[in-house]
Structure 1
Amino acid sequence: MTIDAAPPVPPSTGSDFARLSRRINEAGLLKRRPGYYTVRIGLLAACYLGGLAAFVALGDSWWQLLVAVLFAVLFGQVALVSHDLAHRQVFRTRKLSEIGGFIAGNLGIGMSYGWWMDKHTRHHANPNHEELDPDVAPDILVWSDDQARASRGIPRFLGRWQAYLFFPLLLLEGMNLHVSGVRALGNPKLRRRGVEATLLFTHFACYLAALFVVLSPGKALLFLVVHQALWGLYMGSIFAPNHKGMPTLSGDDRPDFLRRQVLTSRNVRGNWLVDNALGGLNYQIEHHLFPSMPSPHLRRAQPIVREYCAELGVPYTETGLVDSYAQALRHLHQVGAPLRDQRSRDRDGLKSGV
């Protein structure tokens, strides 16, 4: 879909989600999976430590660029674990989830866990709502015709050709996560700022020290660029298919919880590779309906949710991975049309003035 407002929906009795939730509970899909997460986190930690060992063993070599690619993937996978921790999929208590999130997010990859959790919680509460979802704020790109017409500065400048710029801009997402985390430290509402700051700057110091002690300056800078760019691209590629190009809401547009989550989300058909590469977030509809559901259960929940949506007559969107990116890019190009049209009118006006 590439429309800017949610389609009309049938009135809800307010109990639609409760009935679905009972079905999910009866299937046992909200139960914790400690064994799964022990294995997943253990394997990821082993790969992370193995990557560090390979980095030290290779020394000042051009083969280190392969290690940079490896760590781009590892950082993305650590971010996915941090995501699951934030949703309490791993631990039931807030304290343990927070400790794990600080270790994985702040120390492991240099991303503020507290800042990201706050932002992501607001996204889950109001997905694709132009005033309430920070993920569709027109900071760099515009996501609707109304945002395009009201845009100024960078979004207005980039918006005309944003579909072509989307993936190149994702190369900067890794650095953006670092910068946003550091900026968040100045917010007094951020909990445990001292812990966040200590772990963030410990990560940055160790990261840069390792690069410039083991590698020559040129190789160190190249490693940094390759690693951060590919990590940003990977992160953006995980989250881009989920909501981009789906209906956006604004103002008082607030369907009931079930429809708000289903109508604004898109699933990507999975297999073993897709499920693991995207951390289960290709089952975005199920994840938004049941954020605390362990990621390996999302695939099993899908047929239950899809069948229930069919019973209600609620549209359920699912597509392939490549097509999900194509839909997102078509949407970006479409909403940039007012800016391109205005540019053409401005050029025509200049010509006629001459």
Structure 2
Amino acid sequence: MQTPVKFSNSTRSQFFATARHRVDAYFKENGISPNANFAMWFKASFFLGGYGLLYGLIISNLFGAWVMLGLAILLGVFAAFIGFNVSHDAIHGAFSSRSWLNKVLGSSFYFIGANPYVWKLSHNIVHHTYTNIFGHDEDIDVAPGLIRLEDGEEYKPWQRYQHLYAFPLYSLASLSWVFRKDFVKFFQKKIGQHQNPKHPLREYITLFTTKAAYYFCFLILPYLVLDLAWWQIALGFVIMHMVEGLVLGVVFQLAHVVEGTSFPVPVNGQSIQESWAVHQLRTTANFAPQSKTAAFFCGGLNRQIEHHLFPKVCHIHYPAITAIVKQTAAEFELPYLENRTFFSALHSHYRILKRQGRAELAEAA
């Protein structure tokens, strides 16, 4: 039976204390709040407004089937961007200093068919603590038995082709989230090796009522008001979520499963022989850090190093604190992993999939 992993900081690294002091000083000296600014509110309004507009156009029944399919695809993209740019920050408590406002904005997660309470348990607590540790970090268990990402995983013959089928599998992530993932994680005893808490009654009610509301808005209501056959509505729903799932899946994979990132094995299954912050540097990578386009659409998830170290800082500030973190890592002779472009990161992830699918390398490991 596995036990929770502890970080020993055996080298007594002062990296994080130094980086945190410098980041805090940056905000204080410049009189800047670490929460959302005007640009962040503009982004949130843009994605939430676009999502509402697209849904309204679809449900208006003013267009033909092909136009509505195009709108559904765009709706899936906007749903993913709401997750990146609004929900993610709010659930981390980074959007505002007011907890009630973070809770309201975190409720935007319901727009993508997901539950913010379950996400907070599995992502904020487990993933951010035990990043890339198999058996603990369930965020990297994308498709157990189908996709192999690390040498310690058991090899299956069909994984030789995982570089071909992995991305279609990623596209199913959102559908799984809507119909399965939240329920499974809510009711299982542990998430990774973290004991699931006793959920308040209101969370049981919220889980089922919001899921029912989502199914009504995206399956039943369209069937009642649109001049489409049931199979056309079902097909549009599936395609919308496949687009959403592909965007979500790829962006999250490029942060932790690229060349250079590590998958540490705890000593005696219990201890990581370095500090938590150094562990984050070894298991996390940025991509396209100079791209304003990536920063706008990915909600700062292209700068995952800064996000993992400072999850309560709104992502709109990541470009400013990146230089601080990178310089501090260099001073302490620690890795700072990044891919210059989105496509170089994507290619790196593809190479990992292909390499981990080779039987001869799996046997040698």
TM-score (norm 1): 0.84
Q: Which residue of 1 aligns with 2:45?
A: 42
Match among 86, 91, 95 for residue 86 of structure 1 = 91
Q: Which amino acid in structure 1 is aligned with residue 220 of structure 2? A: A
Q: Percent identity?
A: 22
Report the CA distance between 1:93 and its aligned residue. Answer: 4.7
Using the alignment, how far apart are the partners of 2:356 and 2:199 within structure 1? 34
Report what 1:144 is aligned to.
Answer: 150
Cα 1:105–1:52 change in 2 (3 A) is same
Moved more, 72-81 or 214-223: 214-223
Matches within 5 A, 1:102-251: 103-106=107-110, 108-121=111-124, 122-137=126-141, 139=144, 140-149=146-155, 156=156, 158-178=158-178, 179-186=180-187, 189-191=198-200, 192-213=203-224, 214=226, 215-245=228-258, 246-251=261-266
Question: Aligned to 1:282, what secondary structure does the other structure show?
Answer: helix
Instruction: Work out the CA distance in 2 between the residues paired with 1:281 and 1:117.
Output: 17
- 2:194 alignment partner in structure 1: none
**Aligned mates of 1:339, 1:161 — CA distance in 2:** 14
Shift of 1:255: 2.0
Following the alignment from structure 1 to structure 2, what is the Cα–Cα distance between the partners of residues 75 and 163?
26
Instruction: Tell me which residue corresponds to 1:21.
Output: 20
The equivalent of 1:68 in structure 2 is 72
Letter in 1 for 2:80: G
In the TM superposition, residue 23 of structure 1 has moved relative to its aligned partner by: 0.7
Q: What is the one-letter code of the residue matched to 1:310?
A: A
Partner residue of 1:330?
351
CA distance in 2, matches of 1:216, 1:59: 14
Q: Quick one: structure 1 residues 132 and 184, their matched pair in 2 at CA, closer, same or farther if it must change by over 3 Å? A: closer
Query: What TM-score, normalized by structure 2, do the two folds share?
Result: 0.82
Contact 1:283 1:298 in 2 (8 A): yes
User: Is this contact kept in 1: 2:15–2:328, CA < 8 A?
Assistant: no
Paired residues of 1:242 and 1:282 also in contact (CA < 8 A): yes
CA contact (8 A) 1:65 1:223 kept: yes
Q: Which moved more, 1:173-182 or 1:213-222?
A: 213-222
1:261 aligns with 2:280: yes
Q: Distance in 2 between matches of 1:339 and 1:200?
A: 45
- Cα distance, 1:173 vs structure 2: 1.0
Cα distance between partner residues in 2 of 1:31 and 1:256: 24
Does structure 1 conserve the Cα–Cα contact (< 8 Å) formed by 2:36 and 2:96?
A: no
One-letter amino acid matched to 2:350? L
Q: What letter is aligned with 2:303?
A: Y
Structure 2, unpaired ranges of 5+: 1-8, 189-196
Q: Which sits farther off after the overlay, 157-166 or 224-233?
A: 157-166
**Deviation for aligned residue 1:283:** 0.7
User: Does structure 2 conserve the Cα–Cα contact (< 8 Å) formed by 1:160 and 1:340?
Assistant: no
Contact 2:175 2:241 survives alignment (8 Å): yes
Shift in CA distance, 93/225, structure 1 to aligned 2, threshold 3 Å: same
Deviation at 1:13, TM superposition (A): 2.7
What's the CA shift string for 1:123-172, capped at 9, x where partnerless?
111211113211233624222111134xxxxxx35423222211111121
Q: Which residue of structure 2 aligns with residue 271 of structure 1? A: 291
Question: How far 1:247 sits from its partner (Å)?
Answer: 0.8
Q: Which residue in 1 is equivalent to 2:3?
A: none
